[in-house]
Amino acid sequence: MRTIDVIRRSGVGISPEQTIRDAATIMEQAGVGSLAVIEGEHLVGIVTDRDLVRRGMARGLPPDARVDMVMTAPVVTIDADDELHHAFALFRTHAVRRLAVEQDGRFVGMLTLDDLLVDLAADMADLARPVTAEILFAHHDNPLPARA
């Protein structure tokens, strides 16, 4: 399965010169917890709601501080056509909860650990169904025919 096939949410981008207040408002309006920071056509960072709290509020930055002051850069990226096992490998080797997905070098969306967990949970439920059925509705073999 390709990485692009498991992205569940739209991606939202913000410019580096926009403010952290803008970022917070956009997150609220778009219903997302992270924004891609895009300069021109290039992804230059990611800012999350956690970044706004830890790097913004906790350090006393004013609401009109630029968003690139609190963003995470460089960004761990994955190609949209990469197989999903590559995403697992990246999550394993980097302490991140999101991967920026790019196609032809351009940002197209965000793959989150939550996306993968939801898929895995659904797969596990599918796998457990026949086992559950066997436990709840035990199969009884027909008795052997009586010998004459």
Partner 1 sequence: MQASVGDRIVIKGHHIGDHDRDCEVLEVRGPEGGPPYRVRWGDSGHETLFFPGVDASVHHFEHVN
- Return the range that interacts with partner 1 (CB under 8 A); candidates 10-18, 51-59, 128-136, 139-147: 10-18
Beta carbon of residue 24, minimum distance to partner 1 (angstroms, whole number): 10
Sort 35 into a burial class: Cβ within 10 Å, 0-12 / 13-18 / 19+.
buried
Is residue 109 close enough to count as binding partner 1 by CB under 8 A?
yes
Among 20, 35, 75, 87, binds partner 1 (CB under 8 A): 35
Is residue 122 close enough to count as binding partner 1 by CB under 8 A?
no
Q: In angstroms, rounded to a whole number, what is the distance separating the alpha carbons of residues 46 and 52?
A: 11
Beta strands 77-79 and 42-48, pairing class: unpaired
Beta carbon of residue 129, minimum distance to partner 1 (angstroms, whole number): 23
Three-state DSSP state, 103? strand
- Which structure tokens are listed for 41? 């056509």
Q: How far is CA 5 from CA 65, 84, 118, in A?
A: 36, 9, 14
Beta carbon of residue 41, minimum distance to partner 1 (angstroms, whole number): 8
Beta carbon of residue 113, minimum distance to partner 1 (angstroms, whole number): 15
Contact set with partner 1 (CB under 8 A): 7-14, 22, 25-26, 29-31, 35-36, 38, 107-109
